[in-house]
Each structure stands twice: as C-alpha cells, then as structure tokens.
Structure 1
Amino acid sequence: MRAQNGAQPFTHRCRVYYEDTDAGGIVYYVNYLKFMERARTERLRDLGFAQSELVGENLLFVVHSSEARYHAPARLDDELSVSAEVIELNRASLRFRQQVRRVADDALLCEGQFLVACVRADSLKPRAIPEVLRAAFANGSGLSLAGD
C-alpha cells in the first residue's frame, strides 16, 4: 500500500560531532545511515513504541535493503534535520523515504529509501507487524490500511 498525500514526514534533529567526520572534515558517508537509523527509531518512539519494549514482544525491525544518494557534505557542528516518512506499509515490512538536510540553509545533503522488515527476535524469521503498530504507522503517515 502506498502513502496518501498530505501528511508531513517526521523529523529528528541532530548535530554533527567530530567523531562523525572524516580526515577531510566532512561527515563520513556511512554516518548518514546512522543519522537515518536514529530518525526511524525516534519515529517509533514518537508513535509510542520503544525498540527495547518491542524486543520483549519478540519483535525486531531489521533493514532489508537500503539506497542512498549523496548531494552535499555536512560539516562539524552543522545541525541536521533528518526525516523518516513511511511510504509503503506491508504485512511484514515498511518502506521509509528519508532525507538529511542542513538546518541553517535547508540544503538537501543525503536522501534514501530503506525497506525495513519485521522479524521475530528469537528466530529472525519474518512476522506480521502487529495491528496496533500498523495502525499507528498508517495514522501517523497518511497511509490507508484499506485494500491491503
């Protein structure tokens, strides 16, 4: 199922620290993936679900596949805004569209899509996303659950 239009994507703010940069003083490319992971985790928290509690429910979200495009560098002390928008909600997976922007000038630095699978914590086998979580993602993202 695809996203309906109108909903604003969730954003998480963070700052670039020295440890995030490479020898050239810019954010090392793989750290954008970390920033986006944190935004997805904070999106879950914003919906009322902590990852630590989900593990207790025998549920994990794992990245199945990722795609990233890099447009401009972030540098030490830049404040970043990282979006996490669910654009597809399936029985056992979610697809996120994400962007990393510099707050000072709203420059797009990196964008990507991530397919995140729901699996059992004990066996890592796929499992259905619980209905309460599906409904929270659908309501928070402008998705429709009808016609699954």
Structure 2
Amino acid sequence: MRAQNGVEPFTHRCRVYFEDTDAGGIVYYVNYLKFMERARTERLRDLGFFQSTLAEEGLLFVVHSAEARYHAPAKLDDELLVSAEVIELNRASLRFRQQVRRAADDVLLCEGQFLVACVRADNLKPRAIPQALRAAFAEQAGAGLSDAGE
C-alpha cells in the first residue's frame, strides 16, 4: 500500500469484533466508515494533535462528504489495515483517501474519499486549519499533496 509519491500512508490496525458484523459474520457496510473515522483520528494523534484538545481550543473536524466503494467482505476476527492519506489540503478542509485491507492477505476490502471540514466549535462555521496542523499534514505528505487553497 504505497502512495504515488513514494511516501507510505499512515495505517491503523484494528480487529473485526462481533459487534461489527451482521448475523452472517460479515462486517456491516457502515462499519467500514467507522474504521476509517478511527484511522483519521489516529492520524491526527500520530502527528501530535488530539481531537479532545482541539475541541477545547474551539476547533472541530466534521465530515462534509463521503464516498465509499466496497470490494470484498471482512469477517469476524479479521485484522484490518486502515490507511488515512491526506491528498488535498485547503484553507479550511482536508481530503483523505482511505483504504481498508485485510492484513492476512492484503486484499482491498473498501476504499473511499472523505472531505473533512475544519469548523468553529461554537457555531460550526468554517475556520482556517491552524498553521501547525497544516504544516504537519504538508510535511507527512511530501510532494504528493495538492494545496488547493480554497
């Protein structure tokens, strides 16, 4: 799972639990979105930013739009590798490309893109992403990141 720019995307490992599956032991489709949300949160944490601290500072990230494609099912007890790669950095939003793969055989199970907006906690209106956070995302992405400016 290598990014086009040669930088390895951030990957979060997680396990499929009984609560994630339907009666047949297959992961319920909406749970892939939860796995991807956790990977985005862990990406922030890996960069040294915590959503709880950002919220205390009056900043929230909210999903503006989501797109997902399902390729193969995950099952109970599978270990998953969930990537979270920033592919576009705007003034007040980030676009993530994400994949969910089964760790045992690297099969692509689900992939998607998510536009995540930065908003003020008090009124949910867009606000600029703090410079330190922008710099951290830009540094981790290297030359492959587009800065659309917004």
TM-score by length of 1: 0.94
Could you tell me how far 1:23 is from its partner in structure 2?
1.4
- Kindly provide the amino acid, as one letter, of the partner of residue 132 in structure 2: V
- Kindly provide the amino acid, as one letter, of the partner of residue 62 in structure 2: V
Partner of 1:88: 88
Distance 2:15 2:126 in 1: 34
Could you tell me how far 1:41 is from its partner in structure 2?
0.0
* SS of residue paired to 2:135: helix
Could you tell me how far 1:81 is from its partner in structure 2?
0.2
User: Structure 1 97/145 Cα, relative in aligned 2: closer, same or farther at 3 Å?
Assistant: closer
Distance 1:30 1:145 in 2: 29
User: Structure 1 38/145 Cα, relative in aligned 2: closer, same or farther at 3 Å?
Assistant: same
Could you tell me how far 1:4 is from its partner in structure 2?
7.7
Could you tell me how far 1:6 is from its partner in structure 2?
2.2
Could you tell me how far 1:31 is from its partner in structure 2?
0.1
Partner of 2:36: 36
Could you tell me how far 1:142 is from its partner in structure 2?
1.6
Work out whether residues 79 and 104 of structure 1, in 8 Å CA contact, stay in contact via their aligned partners in 2. Answer: yes
Distance 2:77 2:84 in 1: 22
Partner of 2:74: 74
1:13 and 2:13 aligned: yes
Work out whether residues 88 and 148 of structure 2, in 8 Å CA contact, stay in contact via their aligned partners in 1. Answer: no
Identity of aligned residues (%): 83
Which structure is richer in relative contact order (CA contacts within 8 A, separation 6 or more)?
A: 1
CA distances 1:81-113 after superposition (whole Å, capped 9, x unpaired)? 000000000000000000000000000000000
CA distances 1:63-86 after superposition (whole Å, capped 9, x unpaired)? 000000000000000000000000
Number of aligned positions between the proteins: 146
- Kindly provide the amino acid, as one letter, of the partner of residue 90 in structure 1: N
Could you tell me how far 1:145 is from its partner in structure 2?
8.0
User: Structure 1 147/100 Cα, relative in aligned 2: closer, same or farther at 3 Å?
Assistant: closer
Distance 2:115 2:17 in 1: 28
Distance 1:105 1:81 in 2: 11
Distance 1:146 1:105 in 2: 34
Segments of structure 1 that go 5 or more residues without pairing to the other structure are none
Could you tell me how far 1:25 is from its partner in structure 2?
1.1
TM-score by length of 2: 0.93
Distance 1:15 1:97 in 2: 21
Distance 1:130 1:48 in 2: 13
- Kindly provide the amino acid, as one letter, of the partner of residue 10 in structure 1: F
* SS of residue paired to 2:27: coil
1:51 and 2:60 aligned: no
Distance 1:112 1:83 in 2: 10
